[in-house]
């Protein structure tokens, strides 16, 4: 009831592409790509809270990659007065 219409167990919540999740497709969990591919913690952090633990992300989004412009997040610089 609270799920947005665009949400799908087969879709990556980050990019909207097919997440290729074996479990969502009704196959054995051990056949899922996530068993062989480590998921970057920063990728997991981008998953909407309501989707965490329910929806898998896709292999591309799971790969760790540098973020060139991190506008949001914890500010590491000196705080302005
Ligand atoms: Zn994705």
Query: What separation in Å is there between the alpha carbon of 41 and the centre of ligand 1?
Result: 14
**Per-residue CA distances from 61 to 2, 9, 12, 75, 80 (Å):** 25, 15, 8, 24, 34
> What is d(CA 59, CA 2) in angstroms, rounded to the nearest whole number?
27
Question: Which residues lie closer than 8 Å to 40 by C-beta, 6 or more apart?
Answer: 62, 63, 64, 65
Residue 34, pLDDT score = 87
Query: What separation in Å is there between the alpha carbon of 14 and the centre of ligand 1?
Result: 5
Query: What separation in Å is there between the alpha carbon of 40 and the centre of ligand 1?
Result: 12
pLDDT at 5 over 50: no
Please give the distance of CA 10 from its chain centroid, rounded to a whole number. Answer: 12
- Domain boundary assignment for the chain: 7-62
pLDDT of 22-34, one tens digit each?
A: 988 889 989 999 8
């Amino acid at each position: 009831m609270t799920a947005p219409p665009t949400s799908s167990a087969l879709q990556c919540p980050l990019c909207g592409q097919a997440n290729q999740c074996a479990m969502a497709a009704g196959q054995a969990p051990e056949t899922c790509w996530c068993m062989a591919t480590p998921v970057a913690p920063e990728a997991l952090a981008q998953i909407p809270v309501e989707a965490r633990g329910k929806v898998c992300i896709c292999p591309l989004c799971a790969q760790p990659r540098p973020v060139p412009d991190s506008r949001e997040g914890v500010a590491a610089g000196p705080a302005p007065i």
